[in-house]
Each structure stands twice: as C-alpha cells, then as structure tokens.
Amino acid sequence: EDQVTQSPEALRLQEGESSSLNCSYTVSGLRGLFWYRQDPGKGPEFLFTLYSAGEEKEKERLKATLTKKESFLHITAPKPEDSATYLCAVQASGTYKYIFGTGTRLKVLA
C-alpha cells in the first residue's frame, strides 16, 4: 500500500537554528514527490517537485532532497515567517492520485 510518513509531527526552532524535516514514503513506482507549505486556515502553497533519487531543489532558505525511500526538507537559518505546516505528497506512476502525509508543524521563535 502506498504510504507517506512525515516526522517530526511538530518542531520548534529558534530563529537561525537550521534543521531538517523528513518524509518517508513507500510507493509502487514514484512519478513525483511534492512539498507544500500550508499556513493556518489557508490552502497549501506549492514549493517543490522531485522526480528521481539524487535530485535537489532550492528556494530561499529551503532545500529539498530525494532518495529512494525518503525526502528531506532542509531549512537553513529559519525566520519566524517560515512558521507553517509543511506537507509532503507522492504520486505513483500510472495514477493521478497524490498520497499526502499528515505534515510537520514548524514554529520558529524570534
């Protein structure tokens, strides 16, 4: 069964304290892995798509990496405005469905 597990469930960081969020997945043939940011009461905002192991994408303080079993979202020197829930989703080959994880709630303290 296709599955996505995100850890930790919640993370509190001091401003400037770098860390990583994990997304472990099992899928029968990966078409793509997607990272989203979601603020409270709003729709998810697309961040990255990763297609194959070894691929990396960067945007400002965020860097996403992919292996055959997991993806990491690295946050370098975070700021309070990076506080949000980060969602990971996978899409299996031959399907249009996404499987979402339950997210990591990130709080960055000033």
Region from 19-27, 53-61, 66-74, 83-91 binding another protein, contact rule CB under 8 A = 83-91
How many residues line the site for another protein (CB under 8 A)?
A: 23
| Least spacing, CB of residue 45 vs another protein, in Å | 7
For the chain, the three-class secondary structure string (H helix, E strand, C coil) is CCEEEEECCEEEEECCCCEEEEEEEECCCEEEEEEEEECCCCCCEEEEEECCCCCEEEECCEEEEECCCEEEEEECCCCHHHCEEEEEEEEECCCCCEEECCCEEEEEEC
The residues that touch another protein, with contacts defined as CB under 8 A, are 4, 31-32, 34, 36, 41-46, 49, 87, 89, 91, 96-103
